[in-house]
Structure 1
Amino acid sequence: MTLSRDEALQRVIDCVAEIFERDAAELHARTRLMADLPCESIDLLEISIRLGVAFGISVDDEAAFLRSLRLLADEGAAALARAYPHLSEQRREDLLCRREGDGLSPLTLGDLADYAVWASRG
């Protein structure tokens, strides 16, 4: 059975809401982990473990958490496509356009849902 993005997003929201003791109804696809939640890099480890269990996948933290985004953005869209095949072309373009921003990771719950759907397809 193929996992839909909506199903994946709800699982991601449920995991993150539990970790940060937030009401899941307050969270959405555009919620940014580092800017909108009290997320620190250590919290990403717990998120990774919980996503692995929730989706039955092995989480590649480099890809799932967009760890090399700043370096790859300098190389352009093709580099982002290779590193983050789970993201839509539109999302990769958004990341390229907004890479200066507030200095915080632009990683969203929607990005994690997209990763989970992609990784669950094997």
Structure 2
Amino acid sequence: MSLTRDEALQRVIELVADIFERDAAELHAQTHLMADLLCESIDLLEISIRLGAAFHITVDDEAAFLRSLRLLMEGGAPELARAYPHLSEQRREELLRQRDQRGGLSPLTLGDLVDYAVWMSRD
């Protein structure tokens, strides 16, 4: 299934808007799940299930939700590239630059979920 990033973004926005009972027009690729939506672990479970169904993919929560990001940052860009190949080099560099700016909150964005879904859906 070949999917553009814009199409994938719209799907992710719709499913996240439904889960958090938000207006989809308020959400965008840079929306942070933890800081902006106050996402909790039960919400991540729901997102994982719906993401898998919407894109017909198996969701690896470790990769999709950047679960080991803080630990992997110690290995720098090469370690992030290995663990998160779905993220662009630019995004991985951004994560490294912002490593201490999130106050302990995950930097996971809707755009990161989109990149994961597109990566997993590629032909």
Alignment TM-score > 0.5, same fold: yes
Counterparts of 1:56 and 1:2, CA distance in 2: 12
Counterparts of 1:95 and 1:27, CA distance in 2: 20
Name the structure 1 match of 2:94. Answer: 94
Cα deviations across residues 42-73 of structure 1 (Å, max 9, x unaligned)? 21000000000000000000000000000000
Counterparts of 2:93 and 2:41, CA distance in 1: 25
Name the structure 2 match of 1:65. Answer: 65
Name the structure 2 match of 1:22. Answer: 22
SS of the equivalent of 2:75 reads: coil
Unaligned runs of 5+ in 1: none
Cα deviations across residues 62-89 of structure 1 (Å, max 9, x unaligned)? 0000000000001110000000000000
Unaligned runs of 5+ in 2: none
Cα RMSD (Å): 0.8
Q: TM-score, normalised by structure 1?
A: 0.97
Name the structure 2 match of 1:11. Answer: 11
Name the structure 2 match of 1:43. Answer: 43
Counterparts of 1:67 and 1:100, CA distance in 2: 16
Counterparts of 2:18 and 2:41, CA distance in 1: 17
